């Protein structure tokens, strides 16, 4: 299939990828403001770990809702260029589709946060919210890079193992969402917990702060691609069935060619 023809047929999936990450970024901004803003009653309640756990629970739930929604079941719910590139390394997504997915993810994530900024104004921009930016913790750049690589590798390896296991596959969204929640609660002090170049780009754009962005551009891609290559080496490329986190029987799949049966 030619590139133009592919794009003309698959644009709904591309739009979904952008819209899903936009929704994720709006959720991240809203819940962070609710928990961390000085005017919030939750800001002075409990420890920093407790507040991160609240945000982590909310964002994990957001991820689960998006992955299991008709949107997520249609596009595959990558919402992350690093995920898309990992599936490309496995040969499970066409290059033209991967390019369109990544472009949509960057545009969608930035659009979602810019929309929230237009509504929330200084509440989103001012400390300690700071456009929900991902920045290295007190351990510095090297620790942040290693942490981002590690959590990205662990996330992709887990998704591949669970989603391609017949009995475990239905639990993929909940496992992925739980990891998001745990990483925000416990890993965020090291790197800010991104795992996603488009997610960090969305925050850096309105803040116009790029000095550490390279960490979140490179480490997640290396981590998830490494997991994909190890999975391919150990299990074979055939072991990864499709580039979807949830392969629903009622949704077409532009990756493996599945078409739902006509009633």
Structural domain contains residue 34:
yes
**Which of 34-48, 114-128, 210-224 is predicted with the least confidence, judged by mean pLDDT?**
34-48
Per-residue pLDDT, 147: 98
Confidence of residue 248 (pLDDT cuts 50, 70, 90): confident
CATH number of the domain residue 226 falls in: 1.20.1080.10
Specify the long-range contacts of residues 209-214, CB closer than 8 Å, at least 24 apart.
Answer: 209/133, 212/135, 212/136, 212/141, 212/144
The tally of domains found in the chain comes to 1
> Can you tell me the distance from the alpha carbon of 204 to that of 212, in angstroms, rounded to the nearest whole number?
10
Answer yes or no: is pLDDT of 4 > 90: no
Q: What is the pLDDT of residue 263?
A: 60
Please indicate, yes or no, if residue 245 is contained in any of the structural domains. Answer: no
Domain-located, residue 176: yes
pLDDT of residue 218: 98
pLDDT score of 236: 82
pLDDT, tens only, 60-107: 999 999 999 999 999 999 999 999 999 999 999 999 999 999 999 999
């Amino acid at each position: 299939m030619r590139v133009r023809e592919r794009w003309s047929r698959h644009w709904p999936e591309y739009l979904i990828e952008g819209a899903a990450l936009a929704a994720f970024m709006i959720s991240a901004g809203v819940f962070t403001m609710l928990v961390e803003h000085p005017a919030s009653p939750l800001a002075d309640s409990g420890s920093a770990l407790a507040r991160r756990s609240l945000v982590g629970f909310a964002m994990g739930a957001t991820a689960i809702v998006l992955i299991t929604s008709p949107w997520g079941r249609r596009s595959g719910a990558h919402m992350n260029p690093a995920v898309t590139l990992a599936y490309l390394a496995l040969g499970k997504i066409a290059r033209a589709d991967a390019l369109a997915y990544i472009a949509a993810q960057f545009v969608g994530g930035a659009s979602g946060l810019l929309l929230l900024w237009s509504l929330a104004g200084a509440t989103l921009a001012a400390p300690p919210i700071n456009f929900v930016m991902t920045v290295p913790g007190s351990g510095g750049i090297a620790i942040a890079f290693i942490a981002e690589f590690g959590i990205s590798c662990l996330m992709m390896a887990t998704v591949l193992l669970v989603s391609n296991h017949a009995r475990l596959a239905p639990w993929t969204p909940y496992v992925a969402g739980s990891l998001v929640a745990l990483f925000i609660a416990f890993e965020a002090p090291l790197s800010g917990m991104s795992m996603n170049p488009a997610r960090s780009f969305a925050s850096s754009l309105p803040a116009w702060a790029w000095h550490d962005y390279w960490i979140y551009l490179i480490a997640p891609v290396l981590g998830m691609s490494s997991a994909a290559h190890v999975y391919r080496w150990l299990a074979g490329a055939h072991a990864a069935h499709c580039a979807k986190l949830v392969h629903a029987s009622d949704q077409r799949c532009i990756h493996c060619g599945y078409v739902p049966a006509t009633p």
